Amino acid sequence: MRNAGAYGESKLAAEEELQKFDWQRLLIIRPAEVYGGGGREGVDQLIAWARRWHVTPLLFGDSRIEFAPLQIDDFATIAAAAIADEKPGATILEVCGPEDLSGPALARALARRFTAVPVPVWWPLLPWLLKMGRHLGLNLTVPDQPQRLTCPKTSSAGRADAHGNIRL
């Protein structure tokens, strides 16, 4: 994904290189935020904070912050079906969860689920807070995670089919 930091840019570069070859079959799956696999960043990290400390950041101040979280079992089912489909040619499959959530909407959902307190975090202040956290030995995010939150998204629940798929 362009403008998504080093991680997103490297994935896009790899996709572009793969598409240069003459494949009999190429399937590229681009999932939105996958949670439930015990990851240590993104939505999994927010869930862990809500579950353990009963707090969740309520990110506000930038309308580009959007989530379409997808549970890992749902992702595995969709990915397995796409692999089994054996459609010839190149297919790019965008996969996302059943709803689009803003930063405040995700915080409210986590607060309800885990009896957590949403702590308002004004987006323009976040880089300073993260920098201060690093000075205190707290690595609360990976380096390009804030950039990934505000980059343009290619998939959304509003554009997905009933199974969370967007075929490009």
Averaged pLDDT for residues 37-60? 92
Residue 105 has which token pair? 């909407």
3-state secondary structure of 153: coil
Q: In 32-144, which ranges are continuous DSSP H helix? A: 42-53, 72-85, 103-114, 126-135
pLDDT of residue 141: 67
- How many domains does the chain fold into? 1
| Helix, strand or coil, per DSSP, at residue 110 | helix
Q: Which residues of 128-160 are buried (b: 16+ CB within 10 A; e: fewer)?
A: eebeeeeeeeeeebeeebbbbbbbebebbbeeb
Per-residue confidence (pLDDT) for residue 153, from 0 to 100: 72
Give the bridge partners for 89, in sequence order.
25
pLDDT of residue 168: 41
Give the helix/strand (H/E) hosting 23.
none
Mean per-residue pLDDT, 31-54: 92
User: What domain range includes position 121?
Assistant: 5-167
Percent of the chain beyond pLDDT 70? Answer: 86
For 139-152, what is each residue's pLDDT tens digit?
A: 766 666 677 777 77
- Tell which residue, 104, 114, 33, has the closest CA to residue 75: 33
- Over the stretch 118-129, which tens digit does the pLDDT of each residue have? 999 998 887 788
Instruction: State how far the Cα of 72 lies from the Cα of 78, in Å rounded to an integer.
Output: 10
CATH number at residue 151: 3.40.50.720
**H helices of the chain, where?**
5-18, 42-53, 72-85, 103-114, 126-135, 145-150
